[in-house]
Chains A and B, each alone.
Chain A
Amino acid sequence: MAGRAIAVESLPETSSAERVVADVLAIGASVAVAEHVRASVPLWFHTFMLTPGIYTPGIARDHGYRLAVLGADRFTGRSVLDVGAFDGFYSFLAEARGARRVVAVDNEQYVAWVRARFGVTLEGGVGFRAIAGLLGSRVEYRRIDALDAGELGERFDVVLCFGILHRVTDPIALLQALADVLAPGGEIVLETYGSRLAADARRSRFTSRAMCTRAMTSSTGAPRRRVCGD
């Protein structure tokens, strides 16, 4: 039986801006170890500076502005939950900047995404474990969905939620799940998609992109709808 041809993309180049971000978490491995670790993971999401001049080729980009809220004053002595951690850059950064406990969670849906988009077979959590090993990190990694953060059975002073809220079908449920694991006085550091529709600010809580309206309608089993205007 002939297999269906699947179009895959080539991996994008790491931007120089991401190397600047990576430099705030210098790992300091030997060149030999750095090269081995870099090659041991078939796809990196985050860019890590393994040793001066050797970076993981992360495909994430344009997130340097997050650093403005990730100083040591945010983490020192606090407990941190990083949801949607992927390779764990922000988890390790929190640890390096003084967090007393860090838990990283990811549902590892990216495994299917990476296979579909780039044709790469990736073991869930492999990048995270590689970096954790280099750092001798105590960050705890759990494969769970952010919506199930309550299963961790603990509360956190800081929850990092980067690039997730705009991707979930129920953003209110996600915010509620994260609010439920906040310690008194705790805070969620959130980065998500904004909206250009200023008029929405008067009444709406969020706007939906047309293609996603189609996707969500489809996922409910409803008949196809035509989206009028985007």
Chain B
Amino acid sequence: MYARDDFVYWGSPPEGLRRLGRIAGLDELEVVDQLEIDGHPRILALLRAAG
């Protein structure tokens, strides 16, 4: 991340990220943090495959 970051194609709400992960076989999503930085929402999360 850097100032005036304009190289961004996508943004995902948590549920959207969960669905993306499932497509890739990552069935577990743990959202650690959601915050707004530089005017943009960010997600910090852990993705895991089912054990």
Contacts and interface: CB of A to CB of B under 8 A. Distances in A.
A60 B32 contact: no
Contact of A196 (B32, B38, B41, B48): B41
Contacts of B12: 165-166, 171, 192-195, 205-207
Given A68-B32, A194-B12, A201-B15, A63 B7 contact: no
A206 B14 CA distance: 9
A193 B40 contact: yes
A69 interface: yes
A212 B8 contact: yes
Interface residues of A, number: 53
Interface in B1-17: 1-3, 6-17
A190 B32 CA distance: 10
Nearest to A171: B10
B8 A167 contact: yes
A195 B2 contact: no
Given A69-B44, A175-B26, A182-B49, A167 B13 contact: no
Contact of A175 (B2, B20, B32, B37): B20
Contact of B24 (A66, A169, A175, A184): A175
Interface string B32-51: 11110110111111111101
Contacts of A66: 44
A204 interface: yes
A33 interface: no
B11 A166 contact: yes
A86 to B, nearest CB: 10
A59 B2 contact: yes
A212 B9 contact: yes
Contact of A192 (B17, B23, B35): B17
Contacts of B44: 65-66, 68-69, 189-191
A143 interface: no
A152 interface: no
Interface of B: 1-3, 6-17, 19-21, 23-26, 32-35, 37-38, 40-49, 51
